[in-house]
A and B are shown apart, each in its own frame.
Chain A
Amino acid sequence: MDWMTRLKTGLWEDNPGLVQLLGLCPLLAVTTSFVNGLGLGIATLMVLAGSNVLVSAARRFLSDEIRIPVYVLIIASLVTCVELSFKAWFPALDRSLGIFIPLIVTNCAIVARAELFASRNPVGPSLADGIGMGAGFLLLLCAIGAFRELLGTGTILGGLDKLIGGEPLAGIAVVDGGWLLAVLPPGAFFSLALAIALKNVIDRRNRATRATPAPRDAGRVAS
């Protein structure tokens, strides 16, 4: 499989959040703003790409008995590295994401890619898979974060200072105030449901226009 296919699979066809419904806990918990979504998305992408590369590089040495401990070891180490890097370079973002950065360890999308893809494929495609899946997760986090922020607080790009430094930024006010429910937990579920529905509508349209009855969920890896 080439790079473009791997990317497209992760970004759309087999998107970890929209299709596989993996990693929902961080997805629902931190997406109260675009910047938070972007921050956790970047961190997750880094871990996912790194763990796919390391697992793939080690795949010839992995017997069944040690496979799972090796995944745990690799993922936990990478998460620690990413956490330290965030503390060093994005301290404000680290404070706002708090425990959810260390909790990337428990994002089952990462173990899923290690087991289903990286442990069976060479390093190059595994990196592409990690980047594709990571980017798919990142874009979904950003989209839901931006949507909830706009509805909930009426701003766009609020708190961008957490990423680029400098004085606190309130973001661009679009409407005055907001609909509090959107940034509370129920808002997260509603937003995710809307995103999934939107994807299904687009997929159905595309299939209808192409008029080629592609089997549903073609190419999807069983999880």
Chain B
Amino acid sequence: MSRHGKNPIAGALTLAAIAAVCATLVAGTWQLTRDRIAANAKAELERNLAPALGGLEYDGSLTAAMVELPPPHGLPGRDAAAIYRVYAAGAPVAALIAVTAEDGYAGPIRMLLGVDTNGVVTGLRILEHRETPGIGDGIAHDRSNWAEQFTGRALGAPPLGRWSIRGDGGDFDQLTGASVTPRAVVKAARDTLIYFDANRETVFAMQSAEEAQ
């Protein structure tokens, strides 16, 4: 099989050529699929809006008053964040905030946090993650009811110092055998609430993508 004999240069060149072919293949597929993937991610996000709102009444469509915030936005996550403002009888009642927890066990965790204008969480939904099946994936609503413990919590309840998992002296349950994953989600939820608390007025004053057009 040793066709290159002892010539390392030939081997390296072959490897480089094959790497170039493979990179082209992946780049081409990415080019072909990225618009559809982005559209699918958006559809998945929009499917989770109503569940994250926990049954609050609202006017019209949940997607109408969306703003996309390019980084740096002060919310958790390096990618763009999105805020869907929710109104009832013309007045703001809640915001659904899509953020990313960067420090999951197996990469970023995208999540959607619903918070009403009093700062109380209306619901938390995990949109996308790569946590280990059977270990960290309990954060997802189709795996366990772990994420439901956020509903009804706010920055003062529990106090800020206890917005962490039990293992770290906080009030939030972790998952059996997994603390990295829940720790990341609790931290991102807490930071989102802190952002919302500090920027409540500006959040509802921002121009939505539709209005800007």
Residues of A within 8 A of B (CB): 29, 54, 58, 60-67, 69-70, 73-74, 76-78, 80-81, 84-85, 87-89, 91, 95, 98-100
Q: Is B37 touching A87 in the complex (CB atoms < 8 A)?
A: yes
A and B contact pairs by CB, cutoff 8 A, 27 listed: A58-B14, A58-B18, A60-B3, A61-B18, A63-B1, A63-B2, A63-B3, A67-B1, A70-B15, A70-B18, A73-B15, A73-B19, A73-B22, A77-B22, A80-B26, A84-B29, A84-B30, A85-B29, A87-B36, A87-B37, A87-B40, A88-B37, A91-B44, A98-B137, A99-B130, A99-B133, A100-B133
Q: A62-B14, A66-B14, A88-B37 are in contact. Are A74 and B22 (CB under 8 A)?
A: yes
Question: On chain B, which size bracket covers the interface?
Answer: 20 to 34
Q: Is A63 touching B4 in the complex (CB atoms < 8 A)?
A: yes
Write the B5-38 contact mask toward A (1 if CB under 8 angstroms, else 0). 1001011001101110111011001101110110
Q: Is the interface of A mostly helix, strand, loop or mixed?
A: helix
A100 to B137, CA, bound (A): 13
Tally of contacts, chain A with chain B, CB under 8 A? 81
A29 to B4, CA, bound (A): 41
Name the CB-closest residue of B to A91.
Answer: B40
| Shortest Cβ distance from residue A103 to the other chain B in the assembled complex, whole angstroms | 10
A29 to B133, CA, bound (A): 10
Name the CB-closest residue of A to B128.
Answer: A95
B132 in contact (CB, < 8 A): yes
Q: A62-B1, A65-B4 are in contact. Are A87 and B33 (CB under 8 A)?
A: yes
Q: Is B1 touching A64 in the complex (CB atoms < 8 A)?
A: yes
Which B residues are CB-close (under 8 A) to A58?
Answer: 14, 18
CB within 8 A of B25: which of A66, A81, A88? A81
Among B18, B30, B37, B43, find the residue whose CB has the most chain A CB atoms closer than 10 A. Answer: B18
Which A residues are CB-close (under 8 A) to B23?
Answer: 77
Q: Is A84 touching B37 in the complex (CB atoms < 8 A)?
A: yes
Q: Is A64 touching B2 in the complex (CB atoms < 8 A)?
A: yes
Q: Is B15 touching A69 in the complex (CB atoms < 8 A)?
A: yes
Which B residues are CB-close (under 8 A) to A73?
Answer: 15, 18-19, 22
Which A residues are CB-close (under 8 A) to B132?
Answer: 99
A130 to B31, CA, bound (A): 27
CB contacts under 8 Å to A, within B37-81, are 37, 40, 43-44
A207 to B21, CA, bound (A): 47
Q: Is B14 touching A61 in the complex (CB atoms < 8 A)?
A: yes
A60 to B8, CA, bound (A): 16
Name the CB-closest residue of A to B40.
Answer: A91
A66 to B21, CA, bound (A): 16
| Shortest Cβ distance from residue B113 to the other chain A in the assembled complex, whole angstroms | 20
Q: A63-B1, A99-B130 are in contact. Are A85 and B33 (CB under 8 A)?
A: yes
Q: Is A66 touching B40 in the complex (CB atoms < 8 A)?
A: no
